[in-house]
Amino acid sequence: MGSLDERVYQPTGQVLSRVLDGEAVLLDLGGGQYYGLDPVGTEVWRGLEAGATPSELVRRVVAAYDVDPDTARRDIEALLSELLARKLIV
């Protein structure tokens, strides 16, 4: 991905998600695999479900957790790249 742009990423229709004890569990219906997200990843996932842009995701994470914007941006970029690679978001 290189750097975050303002494209809106969305979960694919092939992913079911539930939040249990503050952490998201994702089921890829196409591949039959489960994935777990930590609380920060869950915040990002909820933002994706709400249609947030990457910049909005950074603001959400910075507001909810003790993290600086640069670190949040790098971590979110890495997570989005992985979700894209696993075809969990488009």
Cα of first residue to Cα of last residue in the chain, in angstroms, is: 13
Q: What is the pLDDT of residues 46-74, one digit of tens each?
A: 999 999 999 999 999 999 999 999 999 99
Q: What is the DSSP string of the chain?
A: --S--SPPP-B-TTEEEEEETTEEEEEETTTTEEEE--HHHHHHHHHHHTT--HHHHHHHHHHHSS--HHHHHHHHHHHHHHHHHTTSB-
Check whether 16 has a pLDDT greater than 70. Answer: yes
Q: Per-residue pLDDT averaged across 16-38, rounded?
A: 96
Residue 89 corresponds to which amino acid? I
Q: Are 48 and 89 in contact (CB under 8 A)?
A: yes
CATH number, position 20? 1.10.10
The tally of domains found in the chain comes to 1
- In this structure, is residue 22 part of a structural domain? yes
pLDDT average, residue stretch 5-12: 90
In a domain, 2, yes or no: no
Domain that holds residue 42: 15-85
Asked whether residue 77 is domain-assigned, the answer is yes
